[in-house]
Amino acid sequence: MATPLTNGIRLLSLFGTSLLPLFGHSYGPAAKLTAAPGDNPVACTACHAGTLNSGPGSVAILMRGGPVYIPGVKQRISVRVADPNQQRWGFELTARLKSSPESGQAGQLVPVDNFTQVICEDNTPTPCSSGVSFVQHTSAGTRNGTRGGATFQFDWFPPTTDVGPVTLYAAGNAANGNGTNAGDLIYTTSLELNSAIPAAPAVPAGNVISAATYTAGPVAANSWMTIYGTNLGVTTRAWDESDFINGGMPVALDGVSVLLNGSTAPRRATVGFVSPNQVNFLLPSDVNPATVQVQVRNPAGISAQVPITVQATAPQLLTVDGRAAVAFHANGTAVANATPATPGETISLYCTGCGATTPPLIPSQVPVQAAPVATLPTVTIAGAAAAVSSTTVVPASPGVYEVKVQVPASAANGDLPTIIQLGTFSSASVLVTVQK
Ligand code: HEC
């Protein structure tokens, strides 16, 4: 049995013999095997016998913000190799200027984990003295024994200026895992990216509002907020898994960030969604009551300051459609017209900006425990007090709290107005459907 150390020595000696013009192995193939212009047109089938793209599987290049690049703004690229019958995975991808597809390197490819590596066209590791480069699987990345498919992720730093369209070319190997080059299926694909050039963002006064109520008004720390404006982002997307690093929440998505000024030193807020005319952000959990100036920044500029009022308390209930509360029965089904709450039942409501917790939240980190709030809010349903048994942050859902509340035994049938209160602040009214 090989120990990790002897494996490492074996790898080193293999790299020592890698001066062959064309090599290809499970620990990483040679350069120029993507079927891009100037590369080997038969890609990995140069050794893995068979016809390109003849199996039931595929290789796909996935871009979260669509087939665009923003000059100078890092992007995450995923390559998925899939095949229903296979169980080991490899790939190679290159980024080329459409204006010079054989030799025009477009930006820099950078691994984010040990599943990929980058090599130069002369098969040496990066940095490359010249020529084009390739990102490809490592031995660990082949994930032998994983059935159906595997996804590779890496970052791409596009050119810092608009260089016109860029084409990504990829070859994928859906392998059978037998440790030889027989019985594997090779797929190829390409994706053309157009440049997306931001313009300076603008946010009119009054357009930084509560994401729960969609209206302006006082808000509290740890509240989700929405900004409406123009030229905010050039892509449309919410955050996804790959935007988080060690549980830290993103402070920019596709080059768009939100700056806060006035409560603490100038800082960037967590950004959860970007698009050309809407950005969602989370007010930090440690923001102090103050007038806070909000600005959107993108690579083309920064919007004028828009003030918001941050108070010590200003909870708001979350809704599904601006009216009906997000509410669940204890068994996890939603409270809705067809499945109403009953008088006396304890249901879960959800709020944002519901106050400090014990222990305190760590600003900009995804909450991992259901910490209770330091001060329980009160809730009324159709004007009657509804007993609140707990209010805790929802682990893995930043800015969201769960409020367990008992529907008053006296509640009548209907869609009943429901309000959450903390200190002297009463939330907007939302509706909970109750039926005896
Ligand atoms: C010069 C010949 C050659 C080329 C070209 C080549 N390979 Fe291979 N490949 C091999 C050989 C030989 C093996 C078996 C030995 C090993 O696993 O290292 C192999 C094994 C593999 C395996 C493991 C297969 C299994 O079933 O266990 C993967 C995955 C793989 N190659 C991916 C690729 C990809 C992706 C490309 C194209 C980008 C490629 N190879 C191009 C020769 C080649």
Relative to the CA of 175, which ligand 1 atom is closest? 26
Residue-by-residue DSSP string for 27-72: T---SS-S--TTS-TTGGGGTS-S-TT-SS-EEEEEETT-SEE-TT
Residue 122 corresponds to which tokens in the numbers above? 């002369």
Q: What is the pTM of this model?
A: 0.88
- Find the 62 Cα to ligand 1 centroid distance in Å: 23
Cα-atom radius of gyration of the chain, to the nearest Å?
27
Q: What is the pLDDT along the chain (436 residues), one digit of tens a residue?
A: 322 222 223 333 333 333 344 566 788 999 999 999 999 999 999 999 999 999 999 999 999 999 999 999 999 999 999 999 999 999 999 999 999 999 999 999 999 999 999 999 999 999 998 999 999 999 999 999 999 999 999 999 999 999 999 999 999 999 999 999 999 999 999 999 999 999 999 999 999 999 999 999 999 999 999 999 999 999 999 999 889 989 999 999 999 999 999 877 799 999 999 999 999 999 999 999 999 999 999 999 999 999 999 999 999 999 999 999 999 999 999 999 999 999 999 999 999 999 999 999 999 999 999 999 999 999 999 999 999 999 999 999 999 999 999 999 999 999 999 999 999 999 999 999 999 9
Relative to the CA of 179, which ligand 1 atom is closest? 27
Relative to the CA of 173, which ligand 1 atom is closest? 35
- Find the 92 Cα to ligand 1 centroid distance in Å: 11
- Find the 91 Cα to ligand 1 centroid distance in Å: 10
Task: State which H helix or E strand residue 287 sits in.
Answer: none
- Find the 242 Cα to ligand 1 centroid distance in Å: 28
Relative to the CA of 27, which ligand 1 atom is closest? 18
Q: How far apart are CA 374 and CA 392, in angstroms?
A: 10
Which of 13, 44, 88, 136 is the pocket-test mutation for ligand 1 (most atoms within 8 Å of CB)? 44
- Find the 125 Cα to ligand 1 centroid distance in Å: 18
- Ligand 1 atom 7: residue of nearest CA: 24
Pocket of ligand 1 (CB under 6 A): 22-26, 29-30, 33, 43-44, 46-48, 88, 90-92, 142, 171, 173, 175-181, 184
- Find the 85 Cα to ligand 1 centroid distance in Å: 18
Task: Tell me the HSE value of 414 on the side-chain side, using a 13 A CA sphere.
Answer: 9
- Find the 301 Cα to ligand 1 centroid distance in Å: 47
Who contacts 247 (Cβ-Cβ below 8 Å, separation ≥6)?
365, 366, 368
Q: How far apart are CA 406 and CA 402, in angstroms?
A: 13
Residue 423 corresponds to which tokens in the numbers above? 């200190």
Please give the pLDDT value at position 420. Answer: 98
Q: How far apart are CA 23 and CA 18, in angstroms?
A: 7
In order of start, what are the domains of the chain with their CATH numbers?
A: 4-195 (2.60.40.680), 208-311 (2.60.40.10), 316-434 (2.60.40)
* The residue type at 353: G
